[in-house]
């Protein structure tokens, strides 16, 4: 379920508010401390994306707390809270414990937040919604991208806890041929090929990887015909907040004289990339390269299982 209305509310009316997130099944979220706004999640709070509390804080909500009583999955909620607390601490913020209280309050729904303050309808408090804040999350971005953006907006720094938990992968490349298949396959722009001319006249192609953008989807590994990529470990929350692109492979390449694409020559006289060489050798054929054929057969085998 979309939580866009929670973001819109936080951007326009949430500055200085104290938000108490409550599971959908909580029997009585209305009773609590008068200074806190109970916001009912569309399900268990533990199922909310990790970026939700970070975005609220980045949008100016003063405090975010999670109500632990009334949750039907306390272990899952505790695990979610540990991760959110780690992320908040990286930005020198914290998730609060809502204080006790016996006040009856309006319960808001995270998936249908009010667009107009009820007090302003009766001429109380401010009449106009506050202007939108300079920063706002991109609601079309992936959960991973939104978490990264919120952390970076909050100025997160590395912490010990941030080095042991995380999302995504760290990649390494062994046997890279600079074909760029992984770059094309990555939906998150985590990989890039950068070409430069060396002093000796030989072109160098660098495969750069940004672990903060990787969400471990595995497409790059699947589509690399050279089977060069592997994921030796996870990317950490520290990577998510601070990592920048760095080279994971450097390959001596040549520019194909026909299509101008960079390629790693298999012999010193090769002037055409493998694709153009195959086309020249077989101008009227439509044969697939052996690696692509093997991948197709693997995929067909998996779908038959």
Going by C-alpha positions, the residue among 120, 139, 151, 132 that lies closest to residue 58 is 151
| Window of 100-108, 155-163, 210-218, 253-261 that interacts with ligand SF4 by CB under 6 A | 210-218
Residue 215 binds ligand SF4 (CB under 6 A): yes
Residue 251 binds ligand SF4 (CB under 6 A): no
Residue 217 binds ligand SF4 (CB under 6 A): yes
Write down the residue that tokens 């199922």 correspond to. Answer: 47
H and E: helices and strands count for the chain: 10, 13
- CB neighbour list of residue 36: distance below 8 Å, 6 or more residues apart: 18, 19, 20, 65, 98, 99, 101, 105
* Phi, psi for 7 (deg, rounded to 5): -65, -45
Considering the complex, state which of residue 117 and residue 210 has its C-beta at the smaller distance from ligand SF4. Answer: 210
| Window of 73-81, 149-157, 182-190, 198-206 that interacts with ligand SF4 by CB under 6 A | 182-190
Gap between the Cα atoms of 157 and 148, Å rounded = 12
Considering the complex, state which of residue 25 and residue 143 has its C-beta at the smaller distance from ligand SF4. Answer: 143
Residue 214 binds ligand SF4 (CB under 6 A): yes
- CB neighbour list of residue 178: distance below 8 Å, 6 or more residues apart: 193, 205, 207, 249, 251, 253, 262, 263, 264
Strand-pairing partners, residue 195, are 205
Considering the complex, state which of residue 185 and residue 226 has its C-beta at the smaller distance from ligand SF4. Answer: 185
Residue 228 binds ligand SF4 (CB under 6 A): no
Residue 167 binds ligand SF4 (CB under 6 A): no
| Window of 89-97, 186-194, 269-277, 282-290 that interacts with ligand SF4 by CB under 6 A | 186-194
**Binders in 190-209 for ligand SF4, by CB under 6 A:** 190-191
| 3-state SS assignment for residue 48 | coil
Residue 219 binds ligand SF4 (CB under 6 A): yes
- Shortest separation between residue 177's beta carbon and ligand SF4, angstroms: 17
């Amino acid at each position: 379920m979309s939580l866009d209305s929670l973001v819109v509310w936080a951007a326009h009316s949430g500055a200085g508010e104290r938000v108490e997130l409550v599971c959908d099944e909580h029997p009585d979220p209305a009773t609590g401390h008068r200074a806190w706004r109970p916001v009912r999640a569309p399900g268990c709070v533990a199922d909310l994306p990790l970026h939700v509390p970070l975005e609220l804080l980045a949008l100016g909500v003063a405090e975010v707390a999670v109500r632990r009583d009334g949750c039907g999955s306390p272990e899952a909620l505790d695990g979610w809270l540990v991760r959110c607390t780690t992320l908040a601490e990286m930005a020198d913020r914290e998730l609060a414990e809502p204080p006790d209280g016996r006040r009856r309050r309006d319960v808001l729904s995270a998936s249908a937040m009010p667009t107009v303050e009820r007090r302003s309808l009766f001429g109380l408090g401010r009449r106009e919604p506050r202007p939108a804040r300079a920063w706002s999350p991109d609601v079309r971005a992936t959960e991973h991208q939104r978490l990264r953006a919120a952390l970076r907006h909050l100025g997160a720094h590395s912490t010990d806890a941030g080095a042991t938990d995380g999302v995504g992968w760290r990649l390494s490349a062994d046997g890279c041929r600079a074909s760029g298949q992984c770059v094309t396959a990555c939906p998150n722009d985590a990989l890039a090929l950068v070409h430069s001319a060396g002093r000796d006249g030989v072109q160098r192609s660098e495969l750069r990887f940004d672990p903060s953008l990787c969400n471990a989807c595995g497409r790059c590994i699947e589509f690399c015909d050279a089977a060069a990529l592997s994921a030796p470990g996870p990317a950490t929350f520290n990577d998510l907040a601070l990592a920048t692109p760095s080279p994971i492979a450097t390959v001596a390449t040549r520019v194909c004289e026909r299509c101008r694409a960079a390629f790693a020559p298999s012999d010193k006289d090769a002037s055409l990339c493998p694709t153009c060489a195959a086309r020249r050798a077989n101008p009227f054929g439509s044969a697939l390269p052996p690696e692509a054929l093997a991948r197709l057969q693997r995929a067909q085998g998996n779908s038959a299982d």
